[in-house]
A and B are shown apart, each in its own frame.
Chain A
Amino acid sequence: MFKKFNIKEDIATRSLVKSSVQRNIRSKILEQYNRLEPVIDEVLPKKSSLILVKCHEHINLLTVNNEILFFQHFDGPYYPTLRLLHKYPHAFPRVQVDKGATKRILSGANIMCPGLTSKGARLEEALPANTIVGVFAEGKEHALAIGLTKMSTDDIKNINKDIGVENIHYLNDPLWKSSIES
């Protein structure tokens, strides 16, 4: 999604979110990531001024204190950014890929099933299709991508072919590099 993205040029509008809308967003995020509940006040403090940055191609960014926390495409689910995922790695479902896949993911490739089922990889939780997951690498501590499962984990194990997790946001992609300036 972010292969071509230039924060400087792509920002359309930037607006302070009303507190009622902010509550809405907050509950939506909690609905999606119920494991985020204990830390939600840290992530989205109630008194914080949440700024919604609308970008071209229907990308919305939620920022607090000039930090991009979540992004959203069209009306879809809220994705956490990698920096947020690094801070709260346990608040999101995780999958782990083997070593061979690391390099490809960092250049933006989708994750194929074999990379998720081989020896170094891990699929600990049973996840349905279309779940937002943090992608971790074998032998590394931090996540390297945010993905969207294309099939359930059971299917990934059984079919073991084609795209298992779509790569949404990865280390060093334009979104990672971009920072919001006030």
Chain B
Amino acid sequence: MSEQDTPAPSTSASTAVQVIYCGVCSLPPEYCEYGPTLSKCKEWLQEKHSELFDKLYSQTNIENDVATLSLENKPTNDAEDKKKAKVFIEAAKIERELQKKMASKVTITRIARNKKKSVTNVGGLQNFDIDLKKAAKNFASKFACGSSVVKNNQGIDEIVVQGDVSDDLYDYILETWPNVPEDNIELTEEKKSKK
């Protein structure tokens, strides 16, 4: 087996090998089976690189068929079942995390500093894979004001924008990060109502 699968060492070393990486788990597709997202990786590969998909998985499919055939005669294989269950559980875990992420809220709070002045506090952006530092920079240039990443008293990073820009921020966030659902953005005022 090992002989047929390793590439011939005679292939010239002078050119870079183009490696396809899985779009789901970032590994070379042949290693997807070791990741937790195999089923999704398979879908992706079939869509993007069907050739490779056939090459990688046709064999295992056959093997599976053989396995099921032989399973009909034998009592079910416990270890196999357990393995499958484990994979399933892991997949469910990832799914749940995703849901949690979708449910997490972005809070925009206006905090009064003295009578006329206020700052706007944005929390929860990090749940959407947003680089807070960059976001703060963007806000600063967009609204022409100071903006920085600050740790709040729970030790979680938040962005503080100087000035009352809560409504503009609301629109701007929706515009720049379409993966933030509109329902998840909460506009609040004053410190009391802050979560």
Contact = CB atoms under 8 A, between A and B. Distances in A.
Interface of A: 8, 35, 38-39, 42, 83, 86-91, 96, 102-103, 106, 120, 122, 136, 138-142, 144, 171-172, 176-177, 181
A172 B35 contact: yes
Contacts of A90: 9, 11, 13
B31 A88 contact: no
Interface in B50-100: none
Interface size range on B against A: 20 to 34
B155 interface: no
Interface in B1-59: 1-2, 5-7, 9, 11, 13-19, 25-28, 30-31, 34-35
Contact of B34 (A89, A102, A120): A102
B2 A138 contact: yes
A78 to B, nearest CB: 18
Contacts of A87: 16-19
A171 B7 CA distance: 20
Given A86-B19, A106-B34, A136-B6, 7 more contacts: A39-B16, A96-B2, A138-B1, A140-B30, A141-B7, A171-B27, A176-B26
Nearest to A84: B16
Closest 8 CB pairs of A and B: A90-B13, A87-B16, A86-B19, A142-B28, A38-B14, A139-B5, A106-B34, A140-B30
